[in-house]
Amino acid sequence: MARKLLILAAVFGMLGVILGAFGAHGLKEQVSEKMLANWNTGVFYHLIHTLAIFGTALASARLRKNTVVLAGWFFAAGILIFSGSLYTMVLTGKTWLGAITPIGGVSLIVGWLLLCIGAWAWKPEQVNS
């Protein structure tokens, strides 16, 4: 499972950079400052939580904690829903999509909670050599 999360982090990281560059260069003259700010918020959360997925991949490889793995998948869902809804809203102009964004935010919060639970339950002697 750690391998899948690591691959997912790599793909999400690449996409985050591409989408950030697209926003800075391709959207700057096409959308309002408010919409560009929404895009940038999506990219910011996208990239931060890509690093969180990377961290859960590394931690799950050593700890083999289901809660840590699950945290990674909640981070992925959060990126797709939170950032994805913002990207779609900016590209389509359909501002009602902003109502979906908090669902992604809750997914990101659950990911952090699960990571905390996994770390709390971890005992150093559980580390695989």
Q: pTM (2 decimals)?
A: 0.91
- Given a cut of 90, whether residue 122 has pLDDT beyond it is no
**79-89 core/surface letters (b: 16 or more CB in 10 A; e: else):** bebbbbbbbeb
Q: What is the pLDDT of residue 63?
A: 75
Give the residue-averaged pLDDT of 122-129: 60
The answer to whether residue 129 sits within a structural domain is no
Read off the pLDDT of residues 12-32 as tens digits, 9 standing for 90 and up. Answer: 999 999 999 999 999 988 999
**pLDDT confidence of residue 68:** 93
> How many domains does one find in the chain?
1
Examine residue 126 and state whether it is found in any structural domain, yes or no.
no
Which residue segment(s) compose the domain that 8 sits in?
A: 2-120
pLDDT (0 to 100) of residue 38: 96
In a domain, 56, yes or no: yes
